[in-house]
């Protein structure tokens, strides 16, 4: 599966929201609890790392070094 940089940004924002407690995964109304796609922080971080490797693989730049030398005269 190929990921885009916008996908990576979405996962990073989800990590931030989850770490700040902004993301709600359980809601209880009148004693009835509904659970929404619970995701753990380590699972999101692992996904982010996998996505970053794939996204950054397409951005690699080839670098060349040219070495010039002379005999000194």
Q: Determine, yes or no, domain membership for 28.
A: yes
Domain contains 39: yes
Task: Read off the pLDDT of residues 39-53 as tens digits, 9 standing for 90 and up.
Answer: 778 888 888 898 888
In a domain, 37, yes or no: yes
Residue 35 belongs to a domain = yes
**Is residue 41 situated within a structural domain?**
yes
Number of domains the chain is built from: 1
Q: What are phi and psi of 40, to 5 degrees?
A: -90, 155
Q: Which residue range forms the structural domain that includes residue 35?
A: 5-57
Taking the whole predicted model, whether its pTM rises above 0.75 is answered as no
CATH at residue 12: 3.30.1580
Which regions of the chain are under pLDDT 50? none
pLDDT of residue 58: 66
């Amino acid at each position: 599966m190929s990921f885009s940089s916008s996908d990576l940004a979405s996962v990073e924002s989800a990590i931030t929201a989850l770490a700040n407690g902004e993301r709600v995964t359980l809601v209880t109304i009148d004693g009835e609890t509904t659970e929404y796609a619970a995701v753990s922080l380590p699972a999101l971080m692992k996904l982010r790392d996998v996505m970053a490797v794939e996204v950054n693989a397409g951005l690699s730049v080839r670098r060349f070094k040219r070495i010039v030398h002379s005999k000194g005269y």
